[in-house]
Amino acid sequence: MRLAVLLKTVPDLVEELALDEDARTLLFDEMSYVPSEWDDQALEEALIIKEESGAEVTVIAVDTGDVDTMLFTALAKGADYAVKIVGDFDAAMSNWQKARVVADYLGRGDFDAVLSGVQAIDDVDGQLPGLVAGFLGWPHASVITEVRVAGGSHLQLRQEYAGGLVAELETVTPIVVGVQAARKPPRYASVAKVRQVAKSATIDEVEADVAEARLAGVEYVRPVAAGHAEMIEGDIDEVVDRIVAILEERNLLRRA
Amino acid sequence: MQKAKAIELDIAVVDGVELNGSWNRMFEPRVISEYDLSVLDSITQIPGAESLGYCYQCGKCTGVCPVDTVGDYSPRKVFRRTQLGISLIDSPDLWLCTTCRNCLRVCPKEVNMINIMPAVREQAVLEGKAPDELLTAFENTARYGNPIGESPRKRADWTKNAGVAVPIMSQRKAPVDVLWFVECYPSYHPRGKEASSALARVFDALSVDYGILGTEEKCAGDSQRMAGERGLFEMLAEHNIKMLSKYTFNQLVVTDPHAYNAFLHEYPKMGGEWPVQHYTQFLAERLNQVHFVKALNKRVTFHDPCYLGRHNGEYEAPRALLAALPGIDLVEMGHCRETSYCCGGGGGGMWMDSFTRDYASERLSERRVKEAIEYGAEILAVSCPYEVPRFEDAVKSTGHDGELQVMDIAELMAYCMGLNEALVLH
């Protein structure tokens, strides 16, 4: 079984978003980027499949900035190959454009399944796995919390629904899977191991052309606060009285 | 069954006295020691962990181990369990040691947990067996240069509220006498920032010619090293050495005893060698220039930080500063100086409170706070950035809120020098 895992970086929300308030644009070059946490889950699930059934894992990232550390970390965790799709790309590249170049690359290979984070914090124009599946014409399943090889060329998927329902699906390959969570928390790659991998391993670079974006962000603005939380001041008795009063005002408290 | 080998240390030197053990070495294994030693061997074969095998079960460590007073852990127990085939790599024991160094102080066989713990933990980290919260601290440090996960761009933001100008080296563009290595908790933690502001005011009042690295500084990394992430430590050290090497200064002054330990013993091995002082040492040498204008009028006790005291032998400088404060009633706790208790934050303990909670009846910081209360102290004076948050939490969790204030020595000095209006700024 050959698995591809799509990784991308997203703006790091530990920092303020760099927003040009006048021009109403995001200053993509001024933000710092971190690996998308859902992609980390997808990688973990792929590595668990590898440990269970000997699959081969290739991690793929579009070169929208510094993605090498992310790819080397994935290799240190146990991925077999790393591919960087290079071209005239930048951090402002849309998901649609990323999906286009990734799908072109995947279509030329013989992967059985593509795993990626079901969503990311920068899904302004759609989520990557669905877009990739659309371009490839492959089946797609999202919000997946478990992927198992069911023998032959079938996969068993566990999919979460609202209201606490879970479905078990069986699917043919190739397929694109949007992973919500892996079965285990993502593993840790020690810094020494990542640095050693960065010295010894290579990232395959594949050139690609970027298609013109179909969707453009019109403006980026900060959300306007509609109301504020009430901070309850005073000693413990005053605070308790106020909380009880609020609950009574809203008919949330019934005195026996 | 594998026969026991003579693995004990031949000669130990304790306090300069040579203790020759050859007269009672075991040459014939006794029935009682015919264990399968493969598990013990697998641990003592890890470079750095050899001395675990020297243990002859005297139990002196158990008597002084701070963790044993709140749980079921001591180096002797670690040896015994490993001897019986319980792998330290899989045992919670591996994460309970705070590397406080009290066991090594009394060990006649030089079983060195300060080397054993990081070596075995490194192996456990590689095998994915470290507590999740510790790994989060590692990931934060690797990504942001601080274990808290705060923005590296905001590392110098505390200076805006310091009340005095704090020179940042990249803007100052001139040599300085002192490069102040601030560290993470003093840069980000609310109470740490207050202590930093106090120290900046003291430096300013003493006309110290100094600068800080600001956003060019990353965590010194010593606790991450002790917690088993040597690679992370090396990455941080390389960065800090590179940044420090850009500037001309006569000496380093550090806020954090853990950073002091790193700059004294570890950074020189990687090419970063500068004269370094803990801030209490630096200020103690300048006490004759200090002008006190306010009396403290409080009963104060002092907690020796493990990495300033036992690890590096400095007990006098903090006491010299405290003794000089007008109106201070300085009282020593039973556990002081060499026998000082531990706050529980060292060796990665700072980031494993949820993990250790399952194996301890109370936090070490809680036990220490109770001791300070017993001695009637109104202020617990500290000089390590881990300690203000740890002890303040412990004051609240032991029900002593309002009875004991936890203060950095820099804050007490700034107050008595008339540089801080109130004892605590907030």
> What CATH code is carried by the domain that includes residue B330?
3.40.50.10700
Across the interface, whether the CB atoms of B142 and A14 are under 8 A apart is answered no
Across the interface, whether the CB atoms of B150 and A188 are under 8 A apart is answered no
Q: Are B398 and B369 in contact (CB under 8 A)?
A: yes
**CATH no. for residue A153?**
3.40.50.620
pLDDT digit string, tens, across residues B140-170: 999 999 999 999 999 999 999 999 999 999 9
**CATH no. for residue B49?**
1.10.1060
Percent of chain A residues past pLDDT 90, beyond the cut: 80
Are residues B196 and B69 part of one domain?
Answer: no
Are residues B107 and B149 part of one domain?
Answer: no
Q: What is the pLDDT of residue A102?
A: 97
HSE value, Cβ hemisphere, 13 Å, CA-based, for B359:
18
- Max mean pLDDT among A208-222, B14-28, B182-196 falls in B182-196
The answer, yes or no, to whether residue B28 has pLDDT greater than 70, is no
Of B82-86, B198-202, B252-256, B346-350, least confident by mean pLDDT is B82-86
Are residues B410 and B270 part of one domain?
Answer: no
Are residues B293 and B407 part of one domain?
Answer: yes
Is A219 among the domain residues?
no
CA distance A255 to B363: 40
Are residues B275 and B367 part of one domain?
Answer: no
Q: How far out from the chain centre does Cα A105 lie?
A: 19
Is B147 among the domain residues?
yes
Are residues B147 and B63 part of one domain?
Answer: no
Nearest CA in chain B to A193: B231
End-to-end CA distance of chain B: 65
Is A49 among the domain residues?
yes
Is B34 among the domain residues?
yes
State the SS3 of B162-189: CCCCCCEHHHHCCCEEEEEECCHHHHHC
Are residues B336 and B274 part of one domain?
Answer: no
Q: What is the pLDDT of residue B1?
A: 46
Q: What is the pLDDT of residue B302?
A: 98
pLDDT digit string, tens, across residues A210-244: 888 888 788 999 888 888 888 899 999 999 999 99
Q: What mean pLDDT comes out for the span B297-321? A: 98
Is B141 among the domain residues?
yes
Is A163 among the domain residues?
yes
The answer, yes or no, to whether residue B289 has pLDDT greater than 50, is yes
* B126 vs A14, A15, A190: nearest CB: A190
CA distance B406 to B300: 10
CA distance A160 to B413: 59
Is A247 among the domain residues?
no
Of A156-160, A223-227, B135-139, least confident by mean pLDDT is A223-227
B325 close contact with A: CB closer than 8 A: no
Neighbours of B246 (CB within 10 A): 10
Nearest CA in chain A to B148: A14
- Nearest-neighbour CA in chain B from A15: distance (Å): 6
Q: What is the pLDDT of residue B281?
A: 98
The answer, yes or no, to whether residue B426 has pLDDT greater than 50, is no
Q: What is the pLDDT of residue A227?
A: 83
In total, how many domains does chain B have? 3
All residues at 6 or more sequence positions from A63 whose CB lies less than 8 Å from its CB, including other chains:
A84, A85, A86, A87, A89, A205
Nearest to B125 by CA among B245, B26, B235, B228: B228
Nearest to A178 by CA among A215, A145, A219: A145
Q: What is the pLDDT of residue B78?
A: 97
Is A229 among the domain residues?
no
8-27 in chain A: CB under 8 A from chain B: 14-15
| Residue at a domain's end among B126, B154, B172 | B126
Is B3 among the domain residues?
no
> How much is the CA Rg of chain B, to the nearest whole Å?
22
Task: Give residue B357's domain range.
Answer: 287-416
Is B74 among the domain residues?
yes
Q: What is the pLDDT of residue B415?
A: 97
**φ and ψ of B292, to 5 deg:** -90, 140
CA distance B62 to B422: 42
A66 close contact with B: CB closer than 8 A: no
Neighbours of B162 (CB within 10 A): 19
Q: What is the pLDDT of residue B12?
A: 81
CA distance B360 to B358: 6
A46, containing H or E segment: helix A37-53
Across the interface, whether the CB atoms of B231 and A191 are under 8 A apart is answered yes
Are residues B47 and B174 part of one domain?
Answer: no
Collapsing DSSP to helix, strand or coil, A86 comes out as: strand
Are residues B328 and B233 part of one domain?
Answer: no
CA distance B264 to B268: 7
In total, how many domains does chain A have? 1
Across the interface, whether the CB atoms of A185 and B125 are under 8 A apart is answered no
Is A123 among the domain residues?
yes
Are residues B314 and B212 part of one domain?
Answer: no
Nearest CA in chain B to A69: B143
Nearest to A54 by CA among A115, A2, A110: A2
Q: What one-character DSSP code corresponds to residue A97? A: H
Quote ipTM for the complex.
0.85
Find tokens 């009875």 and name the residue: B403
B130 close contact with A: CB closer than 8 A: yes
Query: Would you tell me the crossing angle of helices B230-245 and A191-200 to the nearest 10 degrees?
Result: 80
Q: What one-character DSSP code corresponds to residue A232? A: P
Q: How far out from the chain centre does Cα B144 lie?
A: 21
Percent of chain B residues past pLDDT 70, beyond the cut: 95
Task: Give residue A154's domain range.
Answer: 2-207
Q: What is the pLDDT of residue A253?
A: 83
B64, containing H or E segment: helix B60-64
The answer, yes or no, to whether residue B2 has pLDDT greater than 70, is no
A62, containing H or E segment: strand A56-62
Q: Are A63 and A93 in contact (CB under 8 A)?
A: no
Nearest CA in chain B to A190: B126
**φ and ψ of A26, to 5 deg:** -85, 135
Are residues B169 and B180 part of one domain?
Answer: yes
Longest dimension (CA), chain B: 74
Longest dimension (CA), chain A: 72
CA distance A85 to A100: 11
Are residues B393 and B371 part of one domain?
Answer: yes
**CATH no. for residue B253?**
3.40.50.1860
B3, containing H or E segment: none
Collapsing DSSP to helix, strand or coil, A68 comes out as: helix
Is A40 among the domain residues?
yes
Across the interface, whether the CB atoms of A188 and B138 are under 8 A apart is answered yes
| Residue at a domain's end among B126, B150, B172 | B126
Is B157 among the domain residues?
yes
Q: What is the pLDDT of residue A215?
A: 81
| Residue at a domain's end among B99, B126, B153 | B126
Mean pLDDT, all residues of chain B: 94
